């Protein structure tokens, strides 16, 4: 599963990675690569919560669709690959199924 991520660089040089398809799922940092790693882990955590609860996963927007949103004009956008097979196995273990 590919999840789009938007990166905003603050006036102080801080990076803030947000996940449009998972409200509240974000990470910050002073360097881009560690920020992307942090948001990757946050995405896995959010998706794991959905899976453990047996909830339906939101269908992620495409990277192009996210880039075309007016609020993302001029911002860096990335895709993060999430291994759903692994997360489903972990969720089954956590849920005791």
Domains (range + CATH), the chain? 2-95 (3.30.160.250)
Which residue, 80, 92, 95, is CA-closest to 44?
80
Burial class, 15, CB count within 10 angstroms (exposed 0-12 / middle 13-18 / buried 19+) = buried
Which residue, 7, 19, 6, 8, is CA-closest to 50?
19
β-pairing, 76-81 with 2-9?
antiparallel
pLDDT, residue 97, reads 58
Nearest-10 Cα torsion for 29, 34, 40, 42 = -40
The tokens describing 46, both together, are 């959010």
Run means of pLDDT, 10 residues per run, the chain, 97 residues: 96 96 96 97 94 91 96 96 93 76
Q: What is the DSSP letter of 71?
A: G
């Amino acid at each position: 599963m590919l999840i789009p991520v938007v990166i905003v660089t603050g006036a102080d040089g801080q990076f803030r990675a947000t996940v449009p398809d998972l409200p509240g799922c974000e990470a910050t940092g002073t360097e881009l690569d560690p920020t992307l790693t942090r948001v990757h882990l946050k995405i896995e955590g959010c998706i794991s919560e959905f899976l453990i609860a047996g909830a339906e996963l939101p269908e992620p927007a495409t990277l192009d669709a996210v880039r075309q949103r007016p609020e993302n004009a001029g911002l860096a956008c990335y895709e993060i690959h999430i291994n759903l097979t692994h997360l489903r196995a972990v969720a089954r273990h956590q849920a005791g199924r």
